[in-house]
Amino acid sequence: MDVGLLVQLGVVVAFLVLLWVLPDWVAYRERARRMVHLLGVDAPEPPAPTGPPVQRIAADAQRIRSAIRQAPAGTPVARMRGWQQAYDDVLVVACEALDLEQRLGRLPPGVQRDLERERVERMLVRAGLLAGSVDR
């Protein structure tokens, strides 16, 4: 056979295949996606983020820290303890979001927990989640 004839035949066949596939393009594309997925050739989907966004964690931490620092004299002890517990909870969530080591959830209230809180605050300041110094 002549090469020119083979080229013409190839063009005609390609045109016919195009006319055959074009009306059902979506179905063929989905079928191809399923085959790629079944064969394991496709890239795995990135894991969905868990927990609240980091920006919200940072805002919550700043807000609670500010409330604790600016508490007027005579604020009930129960309220201060509640704020402190909420602040510790936010710090734990922040450490989990940034994959930082912390022991706040395991320590009982007291000096050790206060020291751990300061250590965690300093880590979060270095990581850029908390602004400013952690002075009291």
Structure confidence at residue 22 (pLDDT): 81
Domain boundaries, position 74: 54-127
Q: What is the mean pLDDT of the chain?
A: 88
12 within domain boundaries: yes
Number of domains in the chain: 2
Give the number of C-alpha atoms closer than 13 A to the C-alpha of residue 52, restricted to the C-beta side: 15
Same-domain pairing of 91 and 67: yes
State residue 136's pLDDT score. 47
Residue 132 forms part of a structural domain? no
Is residue 46 domain-resident? no
Is 73 within a domain?
yes
Decide if 29 is inside a domain: yes
Lookup: tokens for 26: 């979506």
pLDDT for position 60: 94
3 state DSSP class of 7: helix
pLDDT for the residue numbered 103: 93
Q: pLDDT tens for residues 110-132?
A: 999 999 999 999 999 999 988 86
